[in-house]
Amino acid sequence: MTYLQGPEAETFARAEACDRFPVLAMPDLTYTPEVADATAPIYAKVRHVIPAIEWPAFAPMIHAINRLKAERNAVILAHNYQTPEIFHGVADIVGDSLQLAQEAAKSDAEVIVQCGVHFMAETSKLLCPDKVVLIPDARAGCSLAASIKGADVRRLREAYPGVPVVAYVNTSADVKAEVDICCTSSNAVEVVESLGAERVIFLPDQYLAKWVASQTDVEIIAWHGACEVHERFSGAELSAYREADPGLKIIAHPECPPDVLAEADFTGSTAKMIKWVADEHPEKVLMVTECSMADNVAAEAPDVEFVRPCNLCPHMKRIQLPKILDSLLFMKEEVVIDPLIAAKARRSVERMVNLKS
Ligand code: 13P
Ligand code: SF4
């Protein structure tokens, strides 16, 4: 992205800054000995996954962002798919979609910067309507969220009268407003069973729906959405890895197709996959999910060998350090939700967050 440092920066700032907050001065982004010292503990953590030659490019921005956070009374939430310089360098809270939603609800900060995709920022805004929620690039979408609209849910309700509807959080606020309850990949089975119904409409991920159906007696009616990252994996690819190395452990996200999950030693949300590695401590593991996650876990488990069939989420990768810096300087992009939609969508998210496990 173009980084504005000259007089254009001021014009840009005036056009974008949220009225309630002053625009802050552009920090010096030189890699000085002071910056090297201040960021040395962070580099010690990521040195296995970020080459030393790249650190002088990241460190000044990490240093500046961490100072600006305090000045703005801001907290940075980062999903497990963010790159290591964000995940380990500037995030205050990291996790899967459920953990980020729960932590957003608890936070005392005035400003939340969501390093993830747009539906995650919307979920934070629903749970924290009085906070300013910023997303460093509002174009960070999700193929699942794009696969369904509120009007589709209304049509499903007409086709299946009386059948409750569960929406994966990977949906827009417009869809959340039309459903009974939300779920994440961490709690999908519990949410479906909590409804006490014989049949449940589960949307929009057809593969997560199939996985949930395999774990419960509740009949699942699915939508046809798919994650563009996870649907690219195949069972044949994984069995080839396993044939080449019979000791390899394979762990997979439930957004993967059934032939992939059939090859997996464990299936779970991103947070559950991380916990599985910490608990089982495998010698060699293949994480069937977005590839930045293996980097983030590898930084903390240098003695585990990670096999990385690298599928990147192009939406998650839109979030980068210079854009996070811009977010804090210019208070952009602010997430705003129509109040009528927000009131209905909030009920579905809160019902999930308040579910006792
Ligand atoms: P998790 O809730 O497991 O982190 O998944 C979110 C997501 O977008 C996976 O593709
Ligand atoms: Fe959406 Fe898939 Fe990217 Fe997750 S990895 S944000 S489900 S496109």
Model pLDDT for residues 27-39, shown as the tens digit of each residue: 999 999 999 999 9
Residue 341 belongs to a domain: no
Residue 179 belongs to a domain: yes
Peptide bond into 60 cis (omega under 30): no
Mutation choice for ligand 2 from 227, 230, 232, 289, CB with most ligand atoms inside 8 A? 227
pLDDT category, 7, cuts 50, 70, 90?
very low
Distance (angstroms) between ligand 1 centre and the Cα of 334 equals 22
Do residues 155 and 137 share a domain?
no
Residue 203 belongs to a domain: yes
Do residues 151 and 128 share a domain?
no
- The domain in which residue 171 lies consists of 144-226
Average pLDDT for the chain: 92
- Mean of the pLDDT values across residues 300-304? 88
Backbone angles phi, psi at 130, to 5 degrees: -90, -5
The CATH number that applies at residue 14 is 3.40.50.10800
Grouping H, G, I as helix, E, B as strand and the rest as coil, residue 128 is: coil
Spell out the residues 6+ positions from residue 12 whose beta carbon is closer than 8 angstroms to its own: 4, 330
pLDDT category, 300, cuts 50, 70, 90?
confident
Pocket residues: Cβ below 6 A from ligand 1: 80, 96-97, 170, 184-185, 227, 255, 269-270
Residue after which a domain boundary falls, among 226, 254, 275: 226
Residue 18 belongs to a domain: yes
Pocket residues: Cβ below 6 A from ligand 2: 117, 142-144, 170, 227-229, 255, 290, 313, 315-316
C-alpha triplet 249, 253, 255: angle, nearest 5°:
145
Peptide bond into 333 cis (omega under 30): yes
pLDDT category, 98, cuts 50, 70, 90?
confident
Do residues 18 and 124 share a domain?
yes
Number of domains in the chain: 3
Model pLDDT for residues 182-204, shown as the tens digit of each residue: 999 999 999 999 999 999 999 99
Residue 130 belongs to a domain: yes
Residue 35 belongs to a domain: yes
pLDDT category, 357, cuts 50, 70, 90?
low
pLDDT category, 18, cuts 50, 70, 90?
low
Q: 1 pLDDT exceeds 60?
A: no
Residue nearest to atom 7 of ligand 1 (CA): 97
| pLDDT value for 86 | 98
Do residues 251 and 219 share a domain?
no
In this predicted structure, which of 98-107, 112-121, 253-262 has the lowest mean pLDDT?
A: 98-107
Residue 354 belongs to a domain: no
| Nearest to 27, CA basis, from 328, 307, 284, 256 | 328
Tell me the DSSP string of 295-342. HHHHHH-TTSEEE---B--TTGGG--HHHHHHHHHHT-SBP---HHHH
Do residues 220 and 236 share a domain?
no
